[in-house]
Amino acid sequence: MPTFALTALRVPKKFYKDVGKSRRRFLWAGDEEVSGGKCNVGWSTVTTPEQYGGLGIRDLPRFARALRLRWLWQSWKNPERPWVGTGTPCDASDRALFAASTAVTIGDGATASFWFCSWLGGQQLCQAFPTLFARSTRKNRSVKDALHDDRWILDLRRGDPDVIALQVVQLAREIRQAALTLTPGTQDCIAWKLSASGCYSTSSAYNAQFSNRQLTSFKSII
């Protein structure tokens, strides 16, 4: 039941706190009240995957993020679904993880997002050029729409041109150097970089959030 809820909703932080307290109580005190003295291992270690030196109990906030990425994947793979375009429970952090975990190949440019997909240099343009992104009035343009007559430049709000001029020139140069050619009738493609099949999986999205940890042999020992 929690898995279904975490997939569809952004639950409040109090939910994670209350569930975490119940899990600690069950693990360390057999469902009785638990105190710090009864906790034999730090909870951050308990909720780290075994291959990174933990005990492998799910870290709920990270698990919820991995589940939510399914919305972004399905938006690409099944754009005919009735909920596509109505919004998802994903936030900027979810989108950043999704962009880092996927590789986009541009066809006609109609599906890939100009600002949010990692279609240029393997990084989201909203992160590579945060000032330009903040000034843009049309953040949801596709690559096709944004590149047509350089609309992404026309979208920028008026203000002191000296603040953004250098970044505009830099981004325009990178786009030109990429020599991107849109192919009408060819759909944009996306691949999940964290699995051999190229398809999204919750487990790979979850483990990717621990990739900064050092691999250990703890899993085989357990």
Confidence check: pLDDT of 218 > 80: no
Return the percentage of the chain with pLDDT > 90, whole number: 63
Q: Give the pLDDT confidence of 18-67 residue by residue, as tens digits.
A: 898 888 888 888 877 776 677 788 889 999 999 998 999 999 999 999 99
Predicted pLDDT of residue 63: 96
**16 contacts 9 by C-beta, under 8 angstroms:** no
**45 contacts 54 by C-beta, under 8 angstroms:** yes
Q: Following CA atoms 36, 31, 55, 204 in sequence, which dihedral angle do they give, to the nearest 10 degrees?
A: -120
The length of the chain in residues reads 222
